[in-house]
Amino acid sequence: MGLGDSTVLVVGGHPGRVSIVHGTTAEVIWCGAEGREVTSTCQFATHLNLRPVAGDWVGIRDGLIIEVAERRSLLRRPRPYAKEMQSLAANVDVVLVVVPVNRGLNLLMLERLAVMAFDSGARPVVVLSKADATSDLGDEIAAARAAVPDVLVLSTSSASGQGIEDLRALLTEGVTAVLLGASGAGKTSLLNALEGTSEVTRTISRGGEGRHATTTRRLYRLSSGGVLLDIPGVRLLDLTVNQAGFDEAFADITELSAACRFRDCAHDGDEGCAVEAAVREGRLPARRLESYRAITIDVAGRDVSGEGARRRRRRDQ
């Protein structure tokens, strides 16, 4: 079907991939009789093993989704005003972290979204949007690379076309990507630039930020062969991750912490902290450690694995 990794096994029914979910129904692109591609709206079967989201591989029978296949990656966030998690996109290979630079690069936003991207199990790629509207692009790129070491950083402009071909080159046959960013970051405009489409965006605000109409998760098949998911903008504080995702996003601090005196060092005044020593010696930017501490506090407040609570107890001792 050309919808990404079709090697995912679905035990029952015809294999298909979820494009968009509405309540207890989902639009699914699936393989019908004689391999013919069909797009239809399907109800959730009773006792479905998982609630599907865009990107899920499912089994279809008699107009029902009867099974959701095991996910190989999952982008998630906390539900607003609740502790439980909300799944945003499944079976993603690349998370395109979209951060605008037209009004200055928000490094804390970038780092938080990168943590979320690493947590998904997919490959993060930073996309600096609205690059035509800044005179400090070189500095912004350098700052982004320092904030997310070893992650590809692309600068793009939907208006001028800058970087669009580089972005398109990532989205080849078999690749599923998702656009992750705050509202007004330029995600839907990037989709339009990639495909020459005209997905609806709302009027630009007086402050210069685009207010996009994306309110749900939708799957798009790209002419480059890949698949792209456009999801609603996330809020700055919507962040919950597992330990592995957090450590990957702050790989520089994770590496330094191996030399800390205490294994559970909080890097916040602990004796023998190698991370704080690196800051004093100029080997690690102080702002990087400040971001680590700020995100640690937020994660600790929502973490359900117990790791956040451990960090919080250690910090308060």
Following DSSP, what letter does each residue of 114-168 receive, concatenated? HHHHHHHTSEEEEEEE-GGG-S-HHHHHHHHHHHSTTS-EEE--TTT-TTHHHHH
Residue 214: predicted pLDDT: 44
Query: Could you give the CA distance from residue 305 to residue 72 in angstroms, rounded to a whole number?
Result: 20
Superfamily of domain 74-230: P-loop containing nucleotide triphosphate hydrolases (3.40.50.300)
Q: Which residues pair with 125 in a beta bridge?
A: 96
Instruction: Locate 255 and state its tokens.
Output: 């590496």
The closest of 275, 263, 258 to 310, measured between CA atoms, is 263
- Start-end of H helices in 148-285: 164-170, 187-195, 243-249, 251-257, 274-280
The structure tokens 């809020």 sit at 235
pLDDT tens, 56-72? Answer: 999 999 999 999 999 99
Q: Which residues pair with 296 in a beta bridge?
A: none
> DSSP code of 214?
-
Residue 208: predicted pLDDT: 39
Fold of 14-68: SH3 type barrels. (2.30.30)
If one looks up domain 250-316 in CATH, what number appears?
1.10.40.50
Residue 79: predicted pLDDT: 65
pLDDT tens, 178-216? Answer: 999 888 888 889 999 998 766 544 433 333 344 444 446
Domain ranges of the chain: 14-68, 74-230, 250-316
Residue 306: predicted pLDDT: 43
The mean pLDDT values, 10 residues at a time, for the chain of 317 residues are 57 84 91 78 93 93 93 83 77 96 90 90 96 94 92 95 96 94 87 77 39 61 90 62 74 91 89 94 91 78 46 43
Residue 216: predicted pLDDT: 61
Q: Phi, psi (5° rounding) for residue 112?
A: -65, -45
pTM of this prediction? 0.78
Q: How far is CA 222 from the centre of its chain?
A: 19
The closest of 258, 238, 261, 236 to 247, measured between CA atoms, is 258
> Residue 189 in contact with residue 164, Cβ under 8 Å?
no
Torsion sign, CA atoms 246, 251, 253, 259:
positive
pLDDT tens, 207-253? Answer: 334 444 444 668 888 999 999 998 877 754 455 556 677 788 888 89
